[in-house]
Structure 1
Amino acid sequence: MRRLFTQFYLLVFACFLAAALLIGGVYQFTAERASNRYLEGLVQDFLDRFTQQMADVPASQWPGQVEDFGRRLHLTLRIGALSEQPLAPADLNFLSQGNILIVEDDATFRQRIPGTDQVLIIGPVPYLHFQHELHWLVLGLLILLGLSLAFPILLWMRPHWRGLQRLEAAAKRLGRGELDARAALPSKSSLATLGATFDQMASQLQSLIAGRKQLTDAIAHELRTPLVRLRYRLAMQEPPLAPKALAELERDLNAFEYLIDEMLVYSRLNEPEPALNIGTLELGQWAAEHLADWQAQGAGRTLELTGPPAPLYWQGDGRLLERAMDNLVGNALRHCRQQVQIALREEDGQAALKVTDDGPGVAAEAAARIFEPFVRLDESRNRRTGGIGLGLAIVRSIAHLHGGDVRLEGPGPGASFTLLLPVHSVTKRHQGATELP
C-alpha cells in the first residue's frame, strides 16, 4: 500500500511542480525582465551623467565626488581598474565598450568611465540582492508546498488504503486455505462493492470445496461397499468360477479399487489445507529399506539403487514421500524393458530422487502435459500397462506441498523423472497427521 501512496503522491507532485515551473518561467521571462530593463534604464541615465561629469574633472577630484553621490543615493560607490575586475572575458569586453553590466553575484552595477581604464562600481544594490535571494525563496516555497501536498493526499487515501489492506489480508488468508476469511468492509467504504464481491466469491469457493469433499467422502463410502460385497460373493460362488475367470474378475476389481484410491488421494492432496506429518529421514537408508518392496512390483525386471555419496537428511512427510516414490518406481517398472535405476543425490540445496527406465520414453510434444491429472500418453505408453493418469499428478502435488517439484528429464533413451525436495522442509501447509486411504 505504501507503493500506491508513493506513486500517487509523486504523480501529483510532479504535475504540480511542472505547472509551477512553467508559471515561474513565464513570470521570469516577462515581469522580471521588464523590471530589470526599467531598473537598467534608471541606472543608465544616472551613470551616463555621473561618468560624463567625472570625465570632465581631474582624477584627483573623483574620490570626493564618489563619496558625495554615494551619500546622497544611500549606496556604496567606488572606483576600480578595468583590468582588476573579477569578470569573465566576455563581460570585460562588454564593459569596455561603455555598456552597463549587472553583476548578480555581488549585486552591483558597473560602467567604464569614458576615456579612462577605470570602472565606476555601484552597490551592492538591495534590490539586486532581493532578486537573487528571491530565486531561493521561490524554490523553498515550492518544496514546502510540495511536501504539504502529502498531508491532504494521505487524508484522502487513508480510507481506501485501509480497505485495500483488509482485502489484501483476507486474500492472503484465503490463499493459505482459511476458507472462512472475509474482507467484511463497511457499507460506507468506497471499496464496499469490491469487498462484497470478494466475500461472495470466497463464500462460493468455500461451498464448492466443501461440496467436493462431501462428494469425495460419498464416493469412498458408496463405491468401496459394493466392492467388498462383490469380493465376498465371488469367494462364496457355487460352483466356484474357473481360475482364469476368477483371476480376470479379481484384476478388474483391483483396477476399480485402485482408481478409487488414486482419486481420493489426489483429491485430499489438493484440499486447501491438507495436514503434513513432518519427520526427519536419511534418504539413503530410507530408500534401501524400501528397495525390496519396489522390486516386488516388477518381477523379472532389474531395479538398481545408487545412494547419495554422503548421508542426505530431509524433513517432510515420510508417508507422502513413500507414495510419490511408489508411483514413480511403479510407473517405471510397468513401462521399462528390463531395467530401472534409482539415484539419490543433493542438487543445489535440494534432495534429488531420480528414477530412470529403459522403456520407450515420452514424446517431446507430450512432455508438457504428462503431470496433468487423467492424462495418458497413448503414443508412448501402452494402455494395457494400466493406470488412469493420476500417478504423476499425485507426485507433483506431493512435491509442491513440500516446496519442491518434479520434472521430466530429456531427451534421452527411456523416461527419467527427478523428484526435487528441499533438504530443509519448506512446506506450504500445516503440520499434523495426514490421512490417506
Structure 2
Amino acid sequence: MGTILLLAAAEIKASAGGVEPVAELLDIKLRLDPFSASSLDSIDTARLKSGQYLVSNLQDGGLQAQARIRLQDRWYLLTGVFDGFQTAHIRGAAKMMQRLITREPRSFYKFIDEYSTNYDLPIRVLSSIEAGHFADKLSTMHAPNYHASYDIKGSSGRFYTYFSDIDQVVELGPVMFRQGLKLQSVMVIVVFAILLTGLAVYWLMYRFEVNLQRLERATTRIASGHLSSRVNVDSQDAFGRLGEAFNRMANQIQRLMGVQKEMIRAVSHELRTPVARMRFGVQMLEDTAEDAYTQKQLHEMDQDLQELDELVDEILTYARLEEGGPILEFKSANMLDLVDQVVEETRRRTDKVQVNWHSETVAEDEIFSDVEYRYLHRALQNLVGNACRYAQSQVHIEYSFENGLCRIDVEDDGSGIPEKDWTRVFSPFTRLDDSRTRASGGYGLGLSIVRRIIFWHGGEASVGESRWQGAKMTLAWPQTHQSQ
C-alpha cells in the first residue's frame, strides 16, 4: 500500500493539495496534517525524511500508510487508511501513473525506477515477447483498465495495464493479499462460534439429562420392587456403558432375589410338613397321657410347635415384603374405620389392658387415604399387639393429619424402649430383652414387617417416648400414593 500512497502524494503535489479527488479515485481515506505537529518518534521521523513510508496495523483490521509530502514550501504528513485490498486501488494507481507519465518530461524507465524500487507494489515494463501474450486483449487493457492474473491459491495477483502513450504493457505486482479479517468479521465469527458452542453444550447437557432421568427412573422402580426394570441402552458412550453395567447389576440382583425367594419357600415347606406331623403326634399323646406332668410337657411342646409354625408365617411375610414381591393395590380408605377395626379386634383378644383410640381429625378429605388396606391393617395390628404385650394397663391410639401426611401414634404405659435402641428396633430378629420377648411370644420380626409395609406406602415408621414414659410407635405416610 506504500507505493499507492506515494503515487497519491505525487498526484496531490501535482494538483497543489487536492486531497479529495485523489481519495475518491483510490476509494480510501486520505488526510493531510502539518508534519511538525505529528507525534512520531525519532526513528519513524527519520524514515519519512529519507523518502520511505510507514505502514501499521489498525485495531479494526485495516492498514494505515503514512508518507511525507512537500506542498508550497511546507512539509505535511499524508495519512491513508486502507480497509483492505480493492480493485479500485489498482485502477486508481494505473490512472495516476498515466497522468504522471503525461505530466513528467522524464523517461518512463526513470519513473519506474523511482516509484517501484523497494516498495510493496512492484512495477515492471514487460518485454515485447511477454507483451505479445496480451496482443488480443490490448483493446480492453487501456489504463486505467487492466487484466488480472491470480495464483491458484488466490493469495497473490498480478495486474497488467496498457499505456498507449508509450505503447507499453506494465505489470503491477505481485500483490500479496492480506489473509486477516476485519474486526467486524472476527466478531461475527466469534459470535457464530459461541452460538455453535452453546448449541453443542445444550445438546450434550440435554442428552446427559435424558440419560440421567432414564437411570433415575430405572433405579426408583427397582427400589420400589420392580426388579425387572432395565435401562434402555441406545449408545456406546459413557452413559451407554453405565447403563449396561447397571443392567448387569440389576440382572444379578434379580437372580439373587429369585434364589432367595425359592430357598425361603422351600425351607418353609420343608419345615411346615414335619412340624404338622409333630403337632399331630404330640396332640395324640396328650389325649392318651394320664400323668399330669406328662400332659404338661406335651402341652408346652405343642405351644412351641405352634410358635414355630407362626414364626414360619412371619418369615414368609417379611421376606415377601423385603424382596419387593407383593403387588399392592392402593385404594382410598377411611383411616378412622381402620383404627376402630383394629381396636375392636384387639379388645376381643385381650382383657389385660385397656385399649382406647381418639382423633381430632374428622374432616372427610383428611381421614381418607390411598392405602393397601390389608397390609396397613397388618402393620397397625402388629403395633397394637406389641403395645399390649408390654403395657401395664393401657394402650392409646391417635390418628392425625397434617401437611398431606397421615399419621397414627400407638402409645403404651410400659417400661419403654431406651433411646439408644430407637434406630435398631425395626431391624429383623432384634430382641432388646430376649427373656422378656420370649415370655411375651415375640419373634423379632413384627416391627420389621411394619417398617416394610409403611415403606411400600412411601412413609416411615419411628419410635419415641409416650406420655406415660412408655413406648410410642408412629406410622406416617403420604395421603395420596404416587405410583412409580
TM-score, normalised on structure 1? 0.63
Distance 2:22 2:426 in 1: 99
Match of 2:288, SS state, is: coil
Q: Give me the identity figure in percent.
A: 26
Distance 2:338 2:354 in 1: 19
Query: Is 1:306 aligned to residue 358 of structure 2?
Result: yes
Q: After superposition, give the CA deviation of every residue in 1:172-226 in whole Å (9 maximum; x if it has no partner).
A: 776665656788999x999699589558625742551342243254146425523
Distance 1:322 1:254 in 2: 23
How far residue 238 of structure 1 moved from its aligned partner, in angstroms, is: 3.3
The match for 1:131 is 182
319, 329, 332: which one aligns with 2:384: 329
2:413–2:466 CA contact under 8 A, matched in 1? no
Query: Is 1:362 aligned to residue 417 of structure 2?
Result: yes
How far residue 329 of structure 1 moved from its aligned partner, in angstroms, is: 0.8
Consecutive unaligned residues in structure 1, runs of 5 or more: 1-38, 82-91, 429-437
How far residue 334 of structure 1 moved from its aligned partner, in angstroms, is: 1.2
The match for 1:400 is 455
Distance 1:397 1:296 in 2: 27
2:227–2:250 CA contact under 8 A, matched in 1? no
Matches within 5 A, 1:247-326: 248-310=300-362, 311=364, 312-326=367-381
How far residue 283 of structure 1 moved from its aligned partner, in angstroms, is: 1.4
Matches within 5 A, 1:41-190: 42=2, 61-62=16-17, 64=18, 66-67=19-20, 69-70=22-23, 75-78=28-31, 104=59, 109=64, 122-123=80-81, 125-126=83-84, 130-136=181-187, 138-139=189-190, 142=193, 177=225
2:61–2:182 CA contact under 8 A, matched in 1? no
Number of matched residues?
A: 362
Q: After superposition, give the CA deviation of every residue in 1:124-176 in whole Å (9 maximum; x if it has no partner).
A: 532599433452365367558858989xx99xxx9xxx999999998777666
Q: After superposition, give the CA deviation of every residue in 1:369-393 in whole Å (9 maximum; x if it has no partner).
A: 1111001112996543331110100
Bigger share in strand:
2
**Counterpart code for 2:29:** T
- Between 373-382 and 389-398, the greater mean CA deviation after superposition: 373-382
Bigger share in helix:
1
CA spacing shift, 1:379–1:336, aligned 2, 3 Å: same
How far residue 71 of structure 1 moved from its aligned partner, in angstroms, is: 6.4
TM-score, normalised on structure 2? 0.58
Consecutive unaligned residues in structure 2, runs of 5 or more: 46-53, 86-177
2:268–2:312 CA contact under 8 A, matched in 1? no
Q: After superposition, give the CA deviation of every residue in 1:316-345 in whole Å (9 maximum; x if it has no partner).
A: 222212211111011111112222110001
How far residue 286 of structure 1 moved from its aligned partner, in angstroms, is: 2.6
Q: CA RMSD in A?
A: 5.3
Query: Is 1:422 aligned to residue 474 of structure 2?
Result: no
Distance 1:175 1:259 in 2: 27
CA spacing shift, 1:169–1:410, aligned 2, 3 Å: closer
203, 207, 211: which one aligns with 2:262: 211
CA spacing shift, 1:333–1:80, aligned 2, 3 Å: farther
229, 236, 250: which one aligns with 2:287: 236
Q: Which has the higher contact order (CA 8 A, sep 6+)?
A: 1
**Counterpart code for 1:313:** F
Distance 2:78 2:317 in 1: 100
Match of 1:361, SS state, is: coil
Distance 2:194 2:427 in 1: 58
**Counterpart code for 1:226:** R
- Between 301-310 and 176-185, the greater mean CA deviation after superposition: 176-185
Distance 2:417 2:79 in 1: 94
